[in-house]
Chains A and B, each alone.
Chain A
Amino acid sequence: GQNIDQPTEMTATEGAIVQINCTYQTSGFNGLFWYQQHAGEAPTFLSYNVLDGLEEKGRFSSFLSRSKGYSYLLLKELQMKDSASYLCGPSGGSYIPTFGRGTSLIVHP
């Protein structure tokens, strides 16, 4: 089964850095995905972690600690278009992620 916890909502200022945390308890854990979803649209893939540590991809980075059941998504140099929901999705034995409730990020000028 899955137990995924992330903050419901966060706000930040354009140009700032924000960190979205996610904790999970996943049977047969084998990796963790982060997706971005704008209102009314389909989720789009941001990052994937399978090993402990930080994966950097441009303005977005994702961190994983398997022993702690913890991940975070770091967004730098925030832009208005980064206002969206961010979904944490650990995958277990099926290799198909299940998702938490998502974090709604609001970026203001």
Chain B
Amino acid sequence: EAQVTQNPRYLITVTGKKLTVTCSQNMNHEYMSWYRQDPGLGLRQIYYSMNVEVTDKGDVPEGYKVSRKEKRNFPLILESPSPNQTSLYFCASSLGLGTGNQPQHFGDGTRLSIL
């Protein structure tokens, strides 16, 4: 089954404790991206990647890191989480350049609470 898998789905942690949210897709997609969603602010792009070893900042990259060492995985890293990073996070993937604009497939979301 074609899917984007995020882990964990829920996490409560404390300020300053490094964490990683994993994202994996099994559709051989080139493009992957991370968004955070907060009430009243909509879905905001954090980082995106157009291919292996190619990553770019989105609209709200501060406090986050990403890596794209393999096509299928695009982890989101919070080196020193803070309470303002409490949010619902979505990973998404799509086919890539040369295929025109293609719809993104979203993971089920990760709800992070930073205390």
Contact = CB atoms under 8 A, between A and B. Distances in A.
Q: Are chains A and B native binding partners rather than an unrelated pairing?
A: yes
Interface of A: 1-2, 30-31, 33, 40-45, 48, 50, 87, 91, 94-102
Interface of A is mostly: loop
Contact of B43 (A1, A31, A40, A102): A102
B24 interface: no
B59 A48 contact: no
B61 interface: no
Given A43-B90, A50-B100, A96 B48 contact: yes
Given A96-B45, A99-B45, A101-B40, 6 more contacts: A1-B59, A44-B106, A94-B50, A96-B50, A97-B104, A101-B41
Interface residues of B, number: 26
B107 A42 contact: yes
Contacts of A94: 31, 48, 50, 56
Nearest to B4: A42
Contacts of A33: 101, 103-104
Instruction: List the 7 shortest-distance A-B pairs measured between CB atoms, nearest first.
Output: A101-B42, A45-B103, A42-B106, A31-B101, A99-B43, A96-B48, A98-B45
